[in-house]
A = this chain, B = another copy of it.
């Protein structure tokens, strides 16, 4: 039998604390292993067996037992990072006021992720994982749904709309998509360079965020060539 999605099984009263704790530990181990393997090799070529083995599980179907489907596994990885990122964004939003510039608002878009990546230390895999999930045709929908579910993200978008020049609806949508792509793939590229020991454009995640904010500000403020 598989566990119902979402939380660990503690329905009724039968589940003991020790058991659920052990389960939670292996869940974490599986999530960590899966995130690493996905980032390194991509999603599809990594089998559930390999993930389980990398997580120290001898059971063939350990992954299937704790997470029903592949999609739920990905969602669980996203959720594990979403919480701290949301917390950072909420804190940054609280520091804004009516005198804040466009830079400050866009920084709320970028820095929660880069700070989180910096906090993860070296090596990290989350940025590359995000890039993989962003491309995988079957997972894009999960990505955007997960992003849309973020309450702080909505606040940032609202704030941006008031500061930005009036733009046609389709240009607004286009540049939003571009901003997302820049953030995800630039972070992934830097993380990859860090992992391989190659050269990086910026010495720190903080500097990377600054470069990204500059670029995205320019992207939004550039004039629209009429069709």
Contact = CB atoms under 8 A, between A and B. Distances in A.
Interface of A: 40-45, 103, 128, 131-132, 135-137, 140, 170-171, 173-175, 177-178, 181-182, 185-186, 189, 192, 201-202, 207, 210-211, 213-215, 217-225, 227
Contacts of A135: 42, 131-132, 135
A227 B208 CA distance: 10
Given A41-B137, A221-B222, A207 B181 contact: no
A201 B177 contact: yes
A123 B206 CA distance: 42
Contacts of A213: 225
Given A181-B181, A201-B170, A210-B225, A137 B215 contact: no
Contacts of A140: 192
B40 A42 contact: no
The number of times this chain is found in the oligomer is: 2
Contacts of A137: 40-42, 128, 192
A106 to B, nearest CB: 11
A214 B218 contact: no
Given A135-B135, A186-B178, A222 B227 contact: no
A199 to B, nearest CB: 8
A1 to B, nearest CB: 28
B42 A211 contact: no
B215 A178 contact: yes
A224 B214 contact: yes
A135 B227 CA distance: 32
22 contacts: A41-B137, A42-B42, A42-B135, A42-B137, A44-B45, A131-B135, A135-B135, A140-B192, A170-B202, A174-B202, A175-B215, A177-B189, A178-B186, A178-B215, A181-B182, A181-B189, A185-B185, A210-B225, A214-B223, A217-B222, A218-B218, A221-B222
